[in-house]
Homo-oligomer: A and B are copies of this chain.
Amino acid sequence: MSTERLLYHVWLSPFSRKVILVLGEKKLVYKGILEKVWERRPDFYALNCAGQVPVLVEEDGTVIADSTVIVEYLEEVYPAINLLGKTPAERAEARRIAAWFDLKFNKEVTANLLDEKVFRRLFNKGTPNSAALRAGAMNITYHLDYIAYLVERRRWLAGDELTIADLTAAAHLSALDYLGNVPWEQHELVKEWYSRVKSRPSFRPLLQERMPALAPVPHYADLDF
């Protein structure tokens, strides 16, 4: 058994990125393990029979799978730095927006762009579907409008404090930004909010991540993009 906290993750996975951000914000030390999920490694399926990253293994051997479940677990066990909010209603709002990005944005945007461009090939499912790429590129603009609507009214997406809502949205956007798929120029308010998230120390591992044979767009790691 390891005596370190382990995080199984993969390049550009927004769900892995969300947990990396949460661990960073909470200042929890871990060792990252790159898990190429498309290789369907039996030892990894023994850890998480869903076969998906991220998976967190605590120092005592506790295994936690599913990014949202990991976040709830970390909030319960390491509450000193609160990323959900103070009241049940505040937490519901942070969770609602996080679910918006993990479900709705993921289905309408991330799956159409990132999954098509990057993961389809790795899973041996052929070449990108051009209708999906067009749909993803169209859909992202209305989600960016929604972020703009929120940050016109609030300092962070769910209220006065940074929460899992910001980290989840930024996790998805950062993976798409690596590919150059975020039209920042038409969305100044969103860009201002994203540059605040991007400047946080918790974001550094994401900006340093490089997928083999797929370089990011030039502005990807610039804090002043």
Contact = CB atoms under 8 A, between A and B. Distances in A.
Interface of A: 49-50, 62, 64-66, 68-70, 72-73, 76-77, 88-89, 91-92, 95-96, 99-100, 103-104, 146
A109 to B, nearest CB: 14
Nearest to A84: B72
Given A73-B88, A73-B91, A76-B88, 7 more contacts: A49-B146, A62-B89, A64-B96, A66-B96, A69-B99, A70-B92, A76-B91
A92 B96 CA distance: 19
A148 B88 CA distance: 35
A62 to B, nearest CB: 5
Contacts of A70: 92
A73 B92 contact: yes
B77 A95 contact: no
The copy count of this chain in the complex is: 2
A38 B88 CA distance: 30
A187 to B, nearest CB: 18
A88 B77 contact: yes
A24 to B, nearest CB: 20
A72 B95 contact: yes
A96 B100 CA distance: 19
28 contacts: A49-B146, A50-B100, A50-B104, A62-B92, A64-B89, A64-B92, A64-B96, A66-B95, A66-B96, A66-B99, A66-B100, A66-B103, A68-B99, A69-B92, A69-B95, A69-B96, A69-B99, A70-B92, A72-B72, A72-B91, A72-B92, A72-B95, A73-B88, A73-B89, A73-B91, A73-B92, A76-B88, A77-B88
